C-alpha cells in the first residue's frame, strides 16, 4: 500500500473522529493537490447544519472550490473514509476530481463500485480513478463502532 495514501487517510480518519465526537456519522475527507499539498479537510455535518448535503466529501469540495475560486478541481485526489454515495460521486465527477481513495466499502449507498459504479460509467463525461481499501479496517471500525453505540443508547 502506498505510504502516502495511508498518511492522508489517517488525516481523513481524524476528521471522521471529529464528526463522531459531535454525534455525526463519522466520515472524513481530505482533498489533496497533485503536488501533495492539502487543499481542504472536512467531516460530516449533516445534523449540525441541518443539511442533507453536508457530507464530508461535499464540504471538502466546497472549501476547495472557494479557496481556488474554481468549481473545477482538476488534478486532485480525494481521500474519504467510506465509499462515496451517489450524491457525492456526482459532485466528484462534476468537479473533475482525478482520483478517489477510500477506506471502507458502503454496500448500502456506495457509488464507486459497491451499489453503483459511477466512475466506470462511460455515459458520464469524467471517470475518476478509484483506489479502495486504504486503512480499510480502521475506516470500517470507526463507522461500525458509531452505529453499534447508537443502537445501544436508542
Q: Catalytic amino acids?
A: 57
* Consecutive H or E run containing 131: strand 129-132
Residues contacting residue 92 through CB under 8 Å, at least 6 positions apart: 57, 61, 78, 84, 100, 128
Distance CA 50, CA 58 (A): 14
Q: Are 115 and 108 in contact (CB under 8 A)?
A: yes
Q: Could you list the beta-strand ranges (E) of 38-87.
A: 38-43, 76-82
Is residue 30 a contact partner of residue 8, using CB atoms and an 8 Å limit?
yes
For residues 65 and 70, give the distance between their C-alpha atoms in angstroms, rounded to a whole number.
Answer: 5
Amino acid at each position: 500500500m502506498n505510504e502516502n495514501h495511508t498518511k492522508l487517510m489517517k488525516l481523513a480518519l481524524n476528521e471522521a473522529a471529529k464528526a463522531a465526537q459531535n454525534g455525526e456519522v463519522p466520515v472524513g475527507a481530505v482533498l489533496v493537490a497533485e503536488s501533495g499539498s492539502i487543499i481542504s479537510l472536512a467531516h460530516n455535518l449533516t445534523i449540525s447544519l441541518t443539511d442533507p448535503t453536508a457530507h464530508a466529501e461535499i464540504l471538502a469540495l466546497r472549501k476547495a472550490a472557494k479557496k481556488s475560486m474554481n468549481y473545477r478541481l482538476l488534478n486532485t485526489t480525494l481521500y474519504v473514509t467510506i465509499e462515496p454515495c451517489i450524491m457525492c460521486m456526482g459532485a466528484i465527477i462534476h468537479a473533475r476530481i482525478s482520483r478517489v481513495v477510500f477506506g471502507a466499502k458502503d454496500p448500502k449507498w456506495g457509488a464507486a463500485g459497491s451499489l453503483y459504479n459511477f466512475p466506470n460509467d462511460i455515459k458520464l463525461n469524467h471517470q475518476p480513478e478509484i483506489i479502495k481499501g486504504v486503512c480499510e479496517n480502521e475506516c470500517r471500525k470507526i463507522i461500525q463502532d458509531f452505529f453499534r453505540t447508537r443502537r445501544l443508547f436508542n
